[in-house]
Amino acid sequence: MCGIVGYVGPKKAVPILVHGLKRLEYRGYDSAGLVALDRSGARRFRVVGRVQNLDTELFGQDLPMTSGIAHTRWATHGKPTENNAHPHTDSSNQFFVVHNGIIENHDKLRLQLEADGVVFQSETDTEVLSHLLAKFYDGVLEHAVEKTLHLVEGTFGIAAVTTHEPFKIVVARRGSPIVLGLGNKEMFVASDVSALVQYTDQVIYLEDNEMAVLTPDEYAIRTLDNRPISRKTFQIDWKIEDSDLTDFPHYMLKEIYEQPQTVENAMRGRVLQAEGVSKLGGLQAKIDEIKKLRKLILVSCGTSYHAGMVGRYIFEQLTDLNVEVELASEFRYRKLRLDETTGVLALSQSGETIDTLAAIREARRKGAITLGLVNVVGSTIARETDAGVYCHAGPEIGVASTKIFVSQLVILNLIALLIGRYQSVSLSEGMALLKELQELPNLIQKILAQAPLIEDIARKYHKAQSFLFLGRQMHYPVALEGALKLKEISYIHAEGYAAGEMKHGPISLIDEAFPTVALVPRDATYDKMVNNIQEIMARSGPVIAIANEGDRSIGDLVDDVIYVPRTHELLQPILSVVPLQLLAYYAALLLGREIDKPRNLAKSVTVE
Ligand code: F6R
């Protein structure tokens, strides 16, 4: 979704702003713009489409300005046009603002401003902010920002500048992330740390209803009610190399291939093999409350929701908890009866997904213990939960989530084992699970080595209009995840289904042009899955099976088979999902799709 970058310091601002926008491209956007300032005034540039178009527009321009703000816009109010692109300005071109989020009462504010004679230049909700800044300006930009935001309903992360005070940036947040980057006599700001890692590893996250005033030498944080705040600095643990493509053609492929390492990172320092238990420092502060939990609700969206669905089976197997799993966007609107014996565990790569964040806030309001399983260190969900565990998987840049799904599954096993060992899980059960967990990196390598075979299978089927993905039990969410991966990057229609539901409707779709991907591991559901496969084949439907190594009989039955090594039952989904990620990748590649930036999608969904 939308991205914000800002810079004030001794260097030329424009290259830093453009570079920052490029680092945010993965989030998804459809137009871009920037404004740069010095004592002589401001220069604004806006383009439809890629940041590269902004580069073209800027080529050959002499732009010595040392401060500015920039934005990538993911259209919500108004089409992606140059006029709707940020920064927006007031009628005198002296106040500029970039904004992430949605101003819910913009219609009302717009009517009031129009009644005062203001002429609007865009269809956006954001433009009201620039006119309000001009209206309230009394010589101090932060006063105008404060007054403006008191009128605003909705969500915002904003950065504002004015030609009257060219070496000052004022930022504020409610619901949309803002991170300050602290340099040596220079200050940066962004909506996402990836725009900052090249310049500094010292960052500060603003909380909701806070603003910050940045000048080259200092920053000051205060609430929107004007109370000064002192906030601790975070050290970012990513390096710039982590977000480089290296030799891979796409981030998605790079991240699929990183998965052996991702699993190691998720386990590092967390496995006490001899005691058959895990050690999770981030949960330690709340361990007494966690031990008393009777119920756990896993909340998340998209791929993280599928991880949560697998998590339900893991927690049911390893703990005595009653376990529920729910889409965060549904959970937050339910009539909930929660108390301190309920834990609500939010799963989120970004730690900023607005529905997941809102679910956690609702759970906390109602007295539940809130826990987070998050990748981005210092993100809002990580900060707002009572306790949590980080994936430590480095940045995930491909819009289609891959390595974080695998990381979440590993850590769900570790959390469930930690709780389960206080309950009925025995030492030997714990040791057996951990032993197999540590084998996973090698086993994933074996699957990655089959990429050429998976590419051939993708070549055979990529022209199909629709795909069905089937699985049972823990492999039902894996089927959902396989279908999600395929549809989001290849745009082939794909549905995931619990195989037992086949006969209740979807079987009517089966014909020779409708391939099914069947997840058929050697577990308790094996025979039933084989029956489902027979039913599909009897109706001439092509079947691609994901089966365990050595399962010759499946190989003889279906059209195509991808073998994955066998592991502990609770870990099998970690292996089964890898060929599905590669299948989606190669199908999208063969169809010429823009794999890392699929149309209409954003990496971090910060609006409801
Ligand atoms: C799909 C995908 C999305 C995210 C979802 C939640 O490949 O990436 O479905 O999983 O938007 O995002 P996080 O995990 O950041 O809360």
pLDDT in tens, 340-360: 999 999 999 999 999 999 999
- Asked if 301 is an active-site residue, the reply is no
Q: Is 379 in the pocket of ligand 1 (CB under 6 A)?
A: no
- Ligand 1 centroid vs 21 CA: distance in angstroms? 21
- Rounded CA-CA distance 574/373 in Å is 17
| Residue 563 reports pLDDT greater than 90 | yes
pLDDT value of position 554: 95
Q: Is 39 left (phi over 0), alpha (psi -120 to 50) or beta?
A: alpha
Confidence (pTM)? 0.85
pLDDT value of position 80: 86
Q: Write the burial class of residue 110 (CB in 10 Å: 0-12 exposed, 13-18 middle, 19+ buried).
A: middle
Q: Is 353 in the pocket of ligand 1 (CB under 6 A)?
A: yes
Q: How does residue 26 score in pLDDT terms, banded at 50, 70 and 90? A: confident
The ligand 1 atom nearest the CA atom of 303: 10
| Residue 577 reports pLDDT greater than 80 | yes
> Which position among 2, 168, 286, 487 bears the catalytic label?
2
Q: How does residue 194 score in pLDDT terms, banded at 50, 70 and 90? A: confident
| Residue 497 reports pLDDT greater than 90 | yes
Using the CB atoms, write b or e for 586-601: b if 16+ within 10 Å: bbbbeeebebbbbeeb
Q: Is 605 in the pocket of ligand 1 (CB under 6 A)?
A: yes
Mean pLDDT of 496-509: 94
- Rounded CA-CA distance 456/459 in Å is 5
In degrees and rounded to multiples of 5, residue 518 shows phi and psi of -110, 125
Mean pLDDT of 542-555: 96
pLDDT value of position 239: 72
- Atom 16 (ligand 1) nearest CA: 348
200-249 pLDDT, tens digit per residue, is 999 999 999 999 999 999 999 999 999 999 998 988 877 767 778 888 99
Q: Is 349 in the pocket of ligand 1 (CB under 6 A)?
A: yes
**Which SS3 state, helix, strand or coil, does residue 340 take?**
coil
pLDDT value of position 145: 97
- Rounded CA-CA distance 397/233 in Å is 24
The ligand 1 atom nearest the CA atom of 485: 7
The ligand 1 atom nearest the CA atom of 305: 10
**Which SS3 state, helix, strand or coil, does residue 47 take?**
strand
Percent of the chain with pLDDT over 90: 87
- Rounded CA-CA distance 588/329 in Å is 28
pLDDT value of position 175: 86
Alpha-helical segments (H) within 299-426: 302-318, 328-331, 354-365, 380-384, 403-422
Q: Kindly report the length of the chain.
A: 608
86-106 pLDDT, tens digit per residue, is 999 999 999 999 999 999 999
| Residue 332 reports pLDDT greater than 90 | no
- Ligand 1 centroid vs 123 CA: distance in angstroms? 29
Number of other CB atoms surrounding residue 400 within 10 Å: 29
| Residue 608 reports pLDDT greater than 80 | no
Structure-block tokens of residue 607: 């609006």
First-to-last C-alpha distance (Å) of the chain: 12
- Atom 8 (ligand 1) nearest CA: 401
pLDDT value of position 243: 74
- Atom 7 (ligand 1) nearest CA: 400
| Residue 197 reports pLDDT greater than 80 | yes
DSSP string, 167-234: T-EEEEEEBS--EEEE-SS-EEEESSGGGTTTT-SEEEEPPTTEEEEE-SS-EEEEETTS-EE--PPE
| Residue 378 reports pLDDT greater than 90 | no
- Ligand 1 centroid vs 348 CA: distance in angstroms? 7
| Residue 572 reports pLDDT greater than 80 | yes
- Ligand 1 centroid vs 25 CA: distance in angstroms? 16
Number of other CB atoms surrounding residue 503 within 10 Å: 12
Mean pLDDT of 55-68: 92
Q: Is 304 in the pocket of ligand 1 (CB under 6 A)?
A: yes
Q: How does residue 76 score in pLDDT terms, banded at 50, 70 and 90? A: confident
296-320 pLDDT, tens digit per residue, is 999 999 999 999 999 999 999 999 9
Please give, one letter per residue, the 3-state secondary structure of 425-466.
Answer: CCHHHHHHHHHHHHHHHHHHHHHHCCHHHHHHHHHHHCCCCE
Provide the mean pLDDT of the chain: 95
Q: How does residue 597 score in pLDDT terms, banded at 50, 70 and 90? A: confident
pLDDT value of position 599: 82
pLDDT value of position 273: 97
- Asked if 335 is an active-site residue, the reply is no
| Residue 602 reports pLDDT greater than 80 | no
Place of tokens 């301190």: 340
- What is the maximal distance between C-alpha atoms in the chain? 79
Are the beta carbons of 4 and 157 closer than 8 angstroms? yes
**Which SS3 state, helix, strand or coil, does residue 307 take?**
helix
Q: 191: number of CA atoms within 13 Å, CB side?
A: 35
Starting at the edge strand found earlier in the chain, the sheet holding 219-223 runs 88-89, 95-100, 156-162, 169-174, 210-214, 219-223, 228-229
Domains in the chain, CATH or no CATH each: 3-236 (3.60.20.10), 243-441 (3.40.50.10490), 451-590 (3.40.50.10490)
Q: Is 516 in the pocket of ligand 1 (CB under 6 A)?
A: no
pLDDT value of position 131: 98
582 alpha-carbon distance from chain centroid: 20
